[in-house]
Amino acid sequence: MSEQLVKIKKTTAFIKNNFPKKFRPSVALIIEKNFEMLSGFRILGEAGFDEIFSQDENLKKNEGKVIFANCGGKDVIVYKGRFHYFGGVKMRDIGQMIYVLRYLGIKKIISVDEVGHLNPRFSCGEIALIYDHINLMGDNPLIGKNDNELGLRFPDMSNAYDKSLYKKIYRVFQEKMIRINESVMLGAIGPESETDAEARFYREIGADVVGYSMVPENITSVHAGISFAGIGLITRELIADKMMEDERTDLQKIKIQKENLNKSLKELGKVISQILIKI
C-alpha cells in the first residue's frame, strides 16, 4: 500500500468514526468556509480540519470543517472549506480530500468556486455552470507515481464535468428561472488578479471564467471515478481593456466583490438543496 493511500485511509477512518448514526452519504458538496448557503440543510454533526489533520502541520492550519448533513432525506457530506494551491498546499494533498470522499462512499460531487468572468455576456452576481476546463496551473494532483487502487494512470477527461449531472442542474436552474451561464473554466494559480493581457489571452483560447480551486478537485474526481459538477459564483469582471480603465481602489474592488459574492450565493442558495436532491 502506497504512503498516499495509507494517509487517505487513515483520514477516512477518522471521519467515519464521527459519522452520525445511520449516516450513509453518496453525495458531497464542496464550498469555501465563508459561503453561507446551507439554510435548507439539517446539520447532524461536524469535524474540524484541525482535528482530522492534527498530525500534518501544513493541513491542520486550515479552518475548514467536514459537515454531516441531511438535505430532503438525502445524506450529504459538506466540505465547508478547501485546500488551495496558492496557499502553499501541495496538489497531492488537495487531491487527498477527494480520494477520502470516494472511500467514504461518495459517488457524486458538486463543487462551488468563486470565479471571475471573461465572457462579456456574463455579469457579476450571476452563476456559471461549468461544462469543461482548461488547466493552466502548471501542475495537477496526478503527477508522481500512480496508485492503481486510486485510479487509472491515464484517466479519460472527455466527460470531466459529468453530462448527466450538468443536465439535471441545468433543468433546476431553468425551473427556477435562474440565468444559466454555460462556461469553460480556466484554472489559474492565483492569488493575484489577472493582468489585462492574461485576461485577453484566456478569452481568446476559449475560457469564459477563471477560478483557482476547482480544477485540481475535478481532475482527482475523474481519476477516482466520482461524477463531478462545477458551479461558479461570478464576483469579478475580467474583460480586457475595461480592466485597465477601472480607476477604483483595491479596497473598493474588494467591497464590490463581496457584494457580488452575496448576490451569487443568494441565487444559488435558492436551489442548492433541490440540486442535491435531484442528482
The residues, any chain, with a CB within 8 Å of residue 75's CB and separated by 6 or more, are: 23, 24, 25, 26, 27, 68, 69
Instruction: Give the residue carrying C-alpha cell 484554472.
Output: 187
Q: Which residues pair with 112 in a beta bridge?
A: 231
Greatest CA separation for the chain: 57
**First-last CA distance in the chain:** 33
pLDDT tens, 48-84?
Answer: 888 887 666 566 566 789 999 999 889 999 999 998 9
Could you say which DSSP state residue 20 is in? P
CA-CA distance, 43 to 109, in Å (whole number)? 18
Q: What is the pTM of this model?
A: 0.93
Say if CB 164 and CB 216 are below 8 A apart: no
CA-CA distance, 207 to 222, in Å (whole number)? 21
CA atoms within 13 Å, Cβ hemisphere of 26: 8
User: pLDDT per position in the chain (279 positions), as tens?
Assistant: 788 888 899 889 989 988 988 899 999 999 998 888 777 889 999 988 888 876 665 665 667 899 999 998 899 999 999 989 998 889 998 998 999 999 999 999 999 999 999 999 999 999 999 999 999 999 999 999 999 999 999 999 999 999 999 999 999 999 999 999 999 999 999 898 899 999 999 999 999 999 999 999 999 999 999 999 999 999 999 988 777 777 777 788 889 989 999 999 999 988 998 999 888
User: Which domains, ranges and CATH numbers included, belong to the chain?
Assistant: 3-278 (3.40.50.1580)
What is the average pLDDT score of the chain?
Answer: 91
CA-CA distance, 186 to 195, in Å (whole number)? 14
CA-CA distance, 18 to 180, in Å (whole number)? 37
The residues, any chain, with a CB within 8 Å of residue 202's CB and separated by 6 or more, are: 118, 134, 136, 186, 188, 194, 210, 238
